[in-house]
């Protein structure tokens, strides 16, 4: 799972010892030793999150702070999202792009409540490259501060608001894609109502020294269980959410990836972001391939790299980028890129699993309805 050389020492999050005490199976991921599952197993952890509340350690991800009044217009030169209109406490999902419109990384951008600059959360495997790219591209009037040492927890599931309100009552009023500073178990935290499971949820950022106390306090609540990377992956797959380096990368554009909604209305009119000519052209002249959901007809899962062909098993159409068993749908699910002429919902396909073409169909995304907190 890691891209680092075998000799590279693995990093550890502030919760490493807690994971081990809880019986986690640790694996190498993005340069860190991370929990892939706990004794109940991936399926049980997945279903617990869908029913109650799951706590994830995502401290391996990169937190970056931009300081300065011009942070929003400066970062807009690197992404297609509208950032200047972000009100204090509001956040947005957007994309770092290369000059050809390919996706360097996906990230969350929040305007702090005090209005000074921006707070970013980037993917673990990309964070060093992202930091260098952003620091090298922004004007000197914007200070770029690495906060990679900070901890980050994700509390996800339908009962999370009830749980977190026991520690910080005001969190129940935080709207989706918004954040606020609160105190949890005596620790100053910045909480956003967001996450990557398709469920209602919160992400909780804090100094590393407070991570264990906050995690242990949350885990004492009867609804909360620790959840590893294995269930995090199945949850986001069922939710139809992209995993960087798999479903999106520098060869895919936002329109191909089904992320055209990340290009703000003003940005579509004005351009001014990397790869704008290609991306804006793709809005009118659709790209040759599209990311789609796929449901195999049988029980055999189609993993990443599985070839997608036409229904007769002859003509190549594309490749699966994420796939596996979906515990909530009790069957295999997948996503991948296929020839746009075959991307209509219910179009028949074949998936070449163990050298055998197996029937499948294009399915709508997400596989499980999103249950974000909407006001």
290: which strand partners? 338
Q: Count of alpha carbons within 13 Å of 269, Cβ hemisphere only?
A: 4
The residue among 88, 368, 24, 8 whose CA lies nearest residue 229 is 24
Domains, the chain, in order of start with CATH, read 11-59+150-238 (3.30.1360.120), 63-146 (3.30.70.1400), 260-363 (2.40.30.110)
**Cα distance between residue 190 and residue 241, in whole Å:** 24
The reported pLDDT for the residue numbered 314 is: 81
If one counts every other C-beta atom within 10 angstroms of the C-beta of residue 362, the result is 21
Q: How far is CA 112 from the centre of its chain?
A: 20
Q: What is the mean pLDDT of each run of 10 residues along the chain (375 residues)?
A: 60 98 98 98 98 98 97 97 96 98 98 93 98 95 97 98 98 97 98 98 98 98 98 98 98 98 97 97 94 96 97 92 98 98 97 94 98 90
Q: What is the CA radius of gyration of the chain?
A: 21
Q: Crossing angle of helices 42-51/229-238, nearest 10°?
A: 60
The reported pLDDT for the residue numbered 1 is: 43
Predicted TM-score of the model (pTM): 0.96
CA torsion through residues 78, 79, 80, 81, sign:
negative
**Cα distance between residue 129 and residue 59, in whole Å:** 17
φ, ψ for residue 119, nearest 5 deg: -115, 130
């Amino acid at each position: 799972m890691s891209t680092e050389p075998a000799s590279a020492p693995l990093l550890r999050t502030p919760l490493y010892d807690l994971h081990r005490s809880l019986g986690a199976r640790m694996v190498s991921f993005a340069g860190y030793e991370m929990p892939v599952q706990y004794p109940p197993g991936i399926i049980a952890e997945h279903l617990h999150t869908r029913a109650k509340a799951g706590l994830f350690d995502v401290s391996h991800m990169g937190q970056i702070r931009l300081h300065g009044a011009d942070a929003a217009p400066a970062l807009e030169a690197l992404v297609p999202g509208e950032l200047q209109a972000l009100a204090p406490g509001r956040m947005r999902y957007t994309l770092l792009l290369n000059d050809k419109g390919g996706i360097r990384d996906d990230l969350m951008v929040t305007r702090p409540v005090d209005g000074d600059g921006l707070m970013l959360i980037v993917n673990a495997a990309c964070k060093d490259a992202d930091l260098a790219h952003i620091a090298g591209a922004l004007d000197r009037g914007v200070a770029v501060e690495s906060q990679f040492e900070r901890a980050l927890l994700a509390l996800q599931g339908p009962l999370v608001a009830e749980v977190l309100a026991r520690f910080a009552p005001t969190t129940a009023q935080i709207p989706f894609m918004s954040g606020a500073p609160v105190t949890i178990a005596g620790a100053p935290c910045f909480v956003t109502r967001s996450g990557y499971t398709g469920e209602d949820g919160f992400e909780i950022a804090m100094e590393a020294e407070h991570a264990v106390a906050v995690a242990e306090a949350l885990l004492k609540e009867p609804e909360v269980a620790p959840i590893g990377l294995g269930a995090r992956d199945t949850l986001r797959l069922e939710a139809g959410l992209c995993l960087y380096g798999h479903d999106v990368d520098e060869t895919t554009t936002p329109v191909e990836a089904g992320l055209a909604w990340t290009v703000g209305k003003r940005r579509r009119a004005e351009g001014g972001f990397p790869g704008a000519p290609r991306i804006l052209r793709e809005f009118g002249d659709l790209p040759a391939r599209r990311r789609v959901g796929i449901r195999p007809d049988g029980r055999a899962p189609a993993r990443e790299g599985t070839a997608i062909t036409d229904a007769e098993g002859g003509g190549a159409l594309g490749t699966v980028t994420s796939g596996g068993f979906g515990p909530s749908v009790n069957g295999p699910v997948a996503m991948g890129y296929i020839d746009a002429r075959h991307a209509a919902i219910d179009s028949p396909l074949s998936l070449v699993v163990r050298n055998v073409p197996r029937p499948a169909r294009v399915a709508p995304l997400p596989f499980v309805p999103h249950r974000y907190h909407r006001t």
